[in-house]
Structure 1
Amino acid sequence: MAPDDVRVDPDWRVAGERIETLLDASSAGGTVARERAEALVREVVDLYGAGLERIVALVDPRTLDALASDELVASLLLVNGLHPHDVSTRVRTALDSVRPYLGSHGGDVDLLDISPDGVVHLRLTGSCKTCPSSSVTLELAVKDAVLAAAPETTEIVVVADEPASSPNLISADSLLSRVHSAPLPAAAPMHGTWIGVPELADLMPGEVGGFAVGALPMLVCRIDDELFAYRDRCPSCTESLAGAVLARRAGGAVGDAVLRCPICGAHYDIRGAGRSLDDPTEHLDPLPVLIRDGVLSVAVPVTEVAG
């Protein structure tokens, strides 16, 4: 089987939590049982770490780079201090991985600097800096990618771009303050999670499909080779967008894609992060779509994961 065909169980991302749960369960046998379980885990980790260090010493730099490009292998290299790339290179690579999604919505992200104490300073540009859902995009796509690639970073800060020229535009700083001040359920470990939806690949160019992920109904559009996912709700009439189709606006360029609400007739720019063409204060709610562990996945707010 070729390396590109290897599928890894995405549950490896929460392996640490499962190990901790098993250690907690061992505590039922008393303090000695817990200490023995922890010692066993350390022995296994040290053994595999020593083996991984030997592998790293034996392979050539190009092979090591290829190994480090795999998320699971990269995480093991990081845990054992064997990753071949410094934090700046890893952060830039992580940002490159989400640029196709940001670019599909007319936006981008710039790495400004990484402070000695591990604070990453970013700047959202284009549509991302004014999109009413860029807070979700930042939390579920950009920050997730950076923290996965460089877990030693201590904080990710979005630096304000030049002031917006329109009073209707909302700054990234304002959006982020809303995200971080919003209360989350007590059991919620983060602002959202990635859920594999491989059936998105079945959409044909120009097709609009409805999907349900957990408790979240969403609308997904394919334009050429790009997928665009939005919450299935028209902000103008608050109704479902079921039955909506893509069309080119009058005088629009090739590739121009407008979604028309079948209920109220409101028009939304699919490539432009779902901005309304009728009311500049209204916006569809975009959801990041990326390939994770080889599977098309959608970032879903944590409050809507359970259905």
Structure 2
Amino acid sequence: MAAEETGLRVQEALDRLTGTGAREAGEDLVRELMAFYGEGLAALVGAVAPEALVPALDRPAAAGLLVLHDLHPEDVGTRIVRALDSLPRTPPVLVGHDPDSGTLTLRRAESGGGCGCGGDDEREVENAIACHAPEVTAIVWEQAPALLQIGSRPPTAAEAR
């Protein structure tokens, strides 16, 4: 696809935005630009050694473009781990991923404090996963198993003397 061809199709789509087909024209415009950028990005990715892409894989914009155009060199499982590792706090534990349903199951990491109720932490996880692994369509938070604490019993009255 040549830049000139894309330019003409974009201009045609823009011309249609003034009429009744504005929505369809907007969708055509986005489709044309995506195809154009995707083709150029594919040429760039193909021209460099795979290890040259590694520094860009942690950058959300670059990773997102590579995923969007099906050019990301890592599989979805590796990208899920990359997303979790990118979190500023201790990442949740990856329990499993079902690629057929798009469901990712996570368990909160054990922490020394806090209520463990999620909130902002869950949003951070969701945002990181959406960037690196948009194939994940649902995140299920598994409850951590309750820990049995074994300790010495309090001393009896006779032992306390």
Common fold: TM-score over 0.5: yes
Percent identical: 37
* TM superposition outliers: structure 1 runs of 4+ over 3 Å: none
Q: Which SS does the other structure have where 2:136 is aligned?
A: coil
Q: Report deviation, 1:165.
A: 5.5
**Equivalent residue runs for 1:1-307 within 5 Å:** 26=17, 29-98=18-87, 100-102=88-90, 108-116=91-99, 117-127=101-111, 131-132=114-115, 134-163=117-146
User: Taking structure 1 as reference, are residues 37 and 123 closer, same or farther at Cα in structure 2, changes over 3 Å only?
Assistant: closer
Partner Cα separation in structure 1 for residue 23 and residue 110 of structure 2: 52
Larger gyration radius, structure 1 or structure 2: 2
- After superposition, the CA RMSD in angstroms is 2.4
**Does the 8 A contact of 2:63 with 2:131 survive in 1?**
no
Cα distance per residue 1:183-215 (max 9 Å; x no partner): xxxxxxxxxxxxxxxxxxxxxxxxxxxxxxxxx
Give 5+ residue unaligned stretches, structure 1: 1-22, 103-107, 167-307
Give 5+ residue unaligned stretches, structure 2: 1-13, 150-161
Partner Cα separation in structure 1 for residue 33 and residue 122 of structure 2: 34
Partner Cα separation in structure 1 for residue 102 and residue 116 of structure 2: 26
Q: Report deviation, 1:158.
A: 1.3
- One-letter amino acid of the counterpart of residue 118, structure 2: S
Bigger relative contact order, structure 1 or 2 (CA pairs below 8 A, ≥6 apart): 2
Partner Cα separation in structure 2 for residue 34 and residue 109 of structure 1: 41
The count of residues paired between Structure 1 and Structure 2 equals: 133
Decide which structure has greater strand share.
1
Q: Report deviation, 1:133.
A: 5.5
Q: Report deviation, 1:80.
A: 0.8
Decide which structure has greater helix share.
2
TM-score normalised by length of structure 1: 0.39
TM-score normalised by length of structure 2: 0.71
